[in-house]
Amino acid sequence: VPTSNIRNFSIIAHIDHGKSTLADKLLQLTGTVESREMKDQFLDNMDLERERGITIKLQAARMRFTYENEPHCLNLIDTPGHVDFSYEVSRSLAACEGALLVVDASQGVEAQTLANVYLALENNLEVIPVLNKIDLPGAEPNRVSQEIEEVIGLDCSNAIYCSAKEGIGITEILNAIVQRIPPPHDTNGRPLRALIFDSYYDAYRGVIVYFRVVDGTIKKGDRIIFMASGKDYFADEIGVLSPSQMQVEELRAGEVGYLSASIKSVADARVGDTITHYTRRAEQSLPGYKEATPMVFCGLFPVDADQFPELRDALEKLQLNDAALKFEPETSSAMGFGFRCGFLGLLHMEIVQERLEREYNLTLITTAPSVVYRVNTINGDTVECSNPSLLPEPGKRSSIEEPYVKIELLTPKDYIGPLMELAQDRRGEFKEMKYLTESRASIIYELPLAEMVGDFFDQLKSRSKGYASMEYSFIGYRESELIKLDILINGDCVEPLATIVHKDKAYAVGRALTQKLKELIPRQMFKVPIQACVGSKVIASESLSAIRKDVLAKCYGGDITRKKKLLRKQAEGKRRMKAIGKVDVPQEAFMAVLKLE
Ligand code: GDP
Ligand code: MG
């Protein structure tokens, strides 16, 4: 089709507002996917995503749609729905000219919706408001349209009311995409510039790169170079996503497709990088490229020391597919050999852990996540520290800086009090509060990222009965009065339990943590002291009394199935224990610091 009949768009929605359901319906109605081969929610590919009902990785699909007897080509570029991946969202939006803003008509505007709409507007996208779930008895599309107008300032006079589930309003949406979203510019004559919005590693073909051609034309066999990584390849295969891969000979300005070129690692072809021709190079790469910086670090140790080489292999394989994952070997006298790993955020961390265990069959102990501190030493150097146990001694450092984030909470007004209390308690600095509508407010705080790692999000949800939503962004480093809290078990310092806390919180954290550890660590045959120390000073201590444990004694008579059950339960508990000195420490203990009251 001519460039003027191409439309590139994405869908912006808060989690659960119906993005995947709508995408499926668009694919179905355009005959892109036969209904019989339709798995629910075609675009969410990974098992993990389907289970959690979230979109982690971007995918794209090309649809054929006839509008006023003219064939059109609509490219849907999906976006991940989690703050950890907001950079990928920004790149996929940069590959589009328009976006559908899907809002649940029974709910309203949420924090994630806001953040992504602002990104879309910054990228000059045409935004089409879509009020979904009008089939629900509680749907109030008129009220929610008004809310969108007030909060975002987006004209909703021609908003589309739809039910993705019931298939109502889907044709109107397709028509609106053609009518309202501008076609790409025809810049086929210019030197090639294509924006990578996703890439993944395929064991047989190497990295598959998803891109949008912004200028010029790319042909099968062309010699190409990635401008940021500087790596060059021959584009052995190029094609479109319909949504399965279909080879073509060339892709022109405005088109969306994939290429494969025997690329060994996604690090060579990262999201946000620009593809150009090796000989006829573009002068300037497309704007907005950023290297992924891990924000959260943790230690990963195999429960069984023999699994160390397997863990290394698995991490190397995952890294081929995940340029944001960082790792280096970490040895600790308590834990043995393992890796210190860096992640974009907590969800990213959870995903990697889960994949290591599920896809690579490893049993791991994960230590509590830490942010990256900047330590200014007395000789004027600055060192980065992502492992609390390696924090330079007080005598060697002059100050410590920690990463800060700006958070925006959207909440019904009833929960303003409890949420402000939460933010205050986490060292939050109040910045601004405004009412979006009569009943909903936006609250902005600046607070240390470290205070958000852990149960902040769970707390937000429970204190607002699930009604509040949030969004955060990194704003920079600030100096704080931080100290290291060590934990001694049975007299041994357990490095992975060390944590960095604000000095005003040290006593409270020390007390709560020793109490929590006392609950979590199973009693042993001997008495075990648990102590929290700052330097050599003990600030809190508890002790586990000795027990002679004989679970089977609890069983009456000869009920063999019950005995077996008990033994199995005990064995499962053992799976995730690490012997530290003479004491078995379970996985939960390493995360205890995140769950203190
Ligand atoms: P996503 O997180 O934005 O991708 O949302 P999903 O498409 O996964 O939808 C979240 C939930 O809302 C699912 O249980 C859907 O079945 C449901 N849902 C989606 N669209 C509609 C709709 O139009 N009406 C109703 N009643 N439910 C819907
Ligand atoms: Mg989804």
For the segment 72-122, what is each residue's pLDDT rounded down to a tens digit? 999 999 887 666 777 888 899 999 999 999 999 999 888 878 888 988 988
Q: Where are the beta strands (DSSP E) in 436-571?
A: 440-448, 469-480, 482-489, 492-493, 499-502, 528-534, 537-544
- With the most atoms of ligand 1 within 8 angstroms of its CB, the residue from 12, 21, 132 to mutate is 21
What are the structure tokens assigned to 548, written together?
A: 């002679």
> Residues within 5 Å of ion ligand 2 by Cβ?
20, 55
Q: Is the CB of 82 under 6 A from ligand 1?
A: no
- According to the model, what pLDDT value does residue 53 have? 45
Q: Is the CB of 324 under 6 A from ligand 1?
A: no
- According to the model, what pLDDT value does residue 562 have? 61
- According to the model, what pLDDT value does residue 58 have? 47
Ligand with an atom nearest the CA of residue 134? 1
Q: Distance from the CA of 165 to the center of ligand 1, in angstroms?
A: 7
Residue ranges in the chain modelled with pLDDT below 50: 50, 53-56, 58, 555
- According to the model, what pLDDT value does residue 46 have? 53
State the binding site for GTP.
Answer: 13-20, 78-82, 132-135
- According to the model, what pLDDT value does residue 546 have? 86
* Nearest residue (CA) to ligand 1, atom 2: 16
Q: Distance from the CA of 498 to the center of ligand 2, in angstroms?
A: 38
Do strands 397-412 and 373-377 pair parallel, antiparallel, or not at all (unpaired)? antiparallel
Q: Is the CB of 13 under 6 A from ligand 1?
A: yes
ipTM above threshold 0.85 = yes
- According to the model, what pLDDT value does residue 549 have? 56
Ligand with an atom nearest the CA of residue 11? 1
Q: Is the CB of 165 under 6 A from ligand 1?
A: yes
Atom of ligand 1 nearest to the CA of 21: 7
Is the torsion defined by CA of 473, 474, 480, 486 positive or negative?
positive
CB-facing half-sphere around the CA of 371: CA atoms within 13 A:
23
Atom of ligand 1 nearest to the CA of 168: 23
Q: What string of DSSP letters covers 514-541?
A: HHHHHHHSPP-SS-EEEEEEETTEEEEE
- According to the model, what pLDDT value does residue 573 have? 53
- With the most atoms of ligand 1 within 8 angstroms of its CB, the residue from 10, 12, 15, 16 to mutate is 16
Q: Edge-to-edge strand order for the sheet containing 193-202?
A: 232-234, 223-226, 274-277, 193-202, 206-215, 256-260, 237-241, 245-248
For the segment 185-204, what is each residue's pLDDT rounded down to a tens digit? 999 999 999 999 988 888 88
